[in-house]
A and B are shown apart, each in its own frame.
Chain A
Amino acid sequence: MDALVVGTIIKIVLVLLIVSALAGFGTYIERKVLAFMQRRLGPAHVGPFGLLQIAADGIKLFTKEDIIPQHANKFIFSLAPVITAATAFIALSAVPLFPTFVIPESLPLIGGAIVPSIIADVNIGVLFVLGMMAAGLYGPLLAGMAQANKWGILGSARTAVQFLSYEVVTGLSVLAPIMVVGSLSLLDFNNAQTGGVGSWLIWQQPIAFILFLIAGFAETNRTPFDLLEHEAEIISGYVTEYSGLRWGMFFIGEYANMFTISILAAVIFCGGYGDIGFVPGWLALLLKVTFFFFLMLWVRASWPHIRPDQLMWLCWKVLMPLAVINIVITGIVVMI
């Protein structure tokens, strides 16, 4: 077989395995970080530093009874978590993760395979990733509407409102960097910023960066914008009736989306996997993604929720006008 095809298959398997494992690890990190910020310990009893809590949670999710409510639309009810998880992973397929890597010839079977930095280098990478993440909206939306539960309906209504609104801000905020780079491919974004920290797009587009982060928080359903399943108001929103592995799939999807947004922020604005001085590119990307992931937990520990009307106000009266102004200014500067 072609060396690139083998490498791509290896990459697909690696991304699937590592990201779904990271989703579990992400919950552990989240609980630990939140605990430390609230002067607690977090999971501490299962295994060293509570690390086996991930395994314990996994076993619990697998063995839990799978309940489908009597009046739910069973087909859509079981389809919805698959949509969330699948779209999250499909979005990852067009995101460059690490520099291209050749497996040494000495290894049997897969020796010489070229592992590409990106699984599918579609030349409209940004559009594809954002489109897939937007399609992920159908997960919570259908889940909430299929479960015959008023909290679910409220959750799915909020899903539609929040995701559709913030899709606009994400798109508009990414538009300005696209105009600067002149390409939709994420590889081109990465290659445009290889000249060290000074060449990062964040210095040229600080407003777009902040807008993208805010919208990213809203699209991954993170605090302060986690209105989809805000316990204090709507029990658990769209996941009210879910249990066991179906519920787990929503969270694997959510954490995969968090990683996607973190990687996107790193690739589009912060130099991707370009080397920083003596730090090799793969480590640099890992550090950046870790920082953005930590930022999501940090913000969750620090800031309170906002109301749905404040959410809409923020989106349509503050963020969208700012994004449009940013695009106009960028356009004028690029033209000159």
Chain B
Amino acid sequence: MHEEIIHTDNTPKEKQNYVMLKLGRTPAYGWPAFKQVAKRAVSGELLVGLWITLKEMVKTLFMGGKHTTMYPFEKMPIAPRYRAIHNMLRLLESGHYRCIGCGLCEKICISNCIAMETRYDENQRKEVSEYTINFGRCIYCGYCAEVCPELAIVHGGRYETASEQRASFSLFDDMLTPIDMLKQQQEFAGFGSVTPNADAAIKKTPLAY
């Protein structure tokens, strides 16, 4: 099942045009109500509905208008602001992990899910000996990433968190950028950063009543 994953961009390309309908008032009694029914029955308004669904069916079948993303095989791009399973970043020059063991993330965590232990190594530098996040408790609020002074803990895009073992996500080494992937490590755009295609995806809200 592990085929190549295709990323599709399903945001609408054409401009949205909202039209106001002139509906008037619904007749409440006798003769006007009857006139409305007769008018609607004869004017073929019901056929308009049939025509729309048929058109959509032809579009779907022959003109590639399907809106389905074949999920496990195709995935939608997710926004840089998305908060999923955390990533631990490395320093680009030395490859050492960025975490300095200050403990701010553990302190600020409102669901108390980060646990860390630190000690002094032989150079009297602080090193992180244990670091786990309990993803059964984590609410993905993003405070840990916001408070981190070294941009060491950030939120990544791994949202598929179904697993037999919760531990397969939560250890420091699992979240840390693999050393051979250091070149591909992306800098966290930070909170408040916008999606790359934000301008294209923006829509006018139909609130001009």
Contacts and interface: CB of A to CB of B under 8 A. Distances in A.
Contact of B50 (A36, A39, A41, A302): A302
Contacts of A302: 49-50, 52-53
A37 B55 CA distance: 8
Interface of B: 37, 46, 49-50, 52-54, 56-57, 59-61, 65-68, 70
B50 A299 contact: yes
Most B CB contacts (10 A, CB to CB) among A33, A39, A298 go to A39
B67 A39 contact: yes
B68 A36 contact: no
The B interface is mostly helix, strand or loop, or mixed, namely helix
A318 B37 CA distance: 10
A39 B66 contact: yes
A39 B53 contact: no
Contacts of B56: 36-39
A40 interface: yes
A301 interface: yes
A299 B37 CA distance: 19
Contacts of B53: 37, 298, 301-302
Nearest to B56: A37
A298 B37 CA distance: 23
A278 interface: no
Given A41-B66, A41-B68, A298-B54, A36 B49 contact: no
Most B CB contacts (10 A, CB to CB) among A36, A38, A41, A301 go to A36
A44 B68 CA distance: 11
Interface string A33-60: 1001111110010000000000000000
A37 B54 CA distance: 7
Contacts of A40: 60, 66-68
Contacts of B37: 318
Nearest to B41: A318
Contacts of B46: 303
A303 B53 CA distance: 10
B49 A39 contact: no
Contacts of A33: 57
A37 B50 CA distance: 10
Given A37-B53, A39-B56, 10 more contacts: A37-B60, A39-B59, A40-B60, A41-B66, A41-B68, A41-B70, A298-B53, A302-B49, A302-B50, A302-B53
A334 B190 CA distance: 83
Nearest to A318: B37
Interface string A293-330: 00000110111000000000000001000000000000
Contacts of B70: 41, 44
Contacts of B49: 302-303
Contacts of A298: 50, 53-54
9 contacts: A37-B53, A37-B56, A37-B60, A40-B68, A44-B70, A298-B54, A299-B50, A301-B53, A303-B50
B52 A39 contact: no
A299 B51 CA distance: 10
B68 to A, nearest CB: 5
Nearest to B52: A302
A36 B57 contact: yes
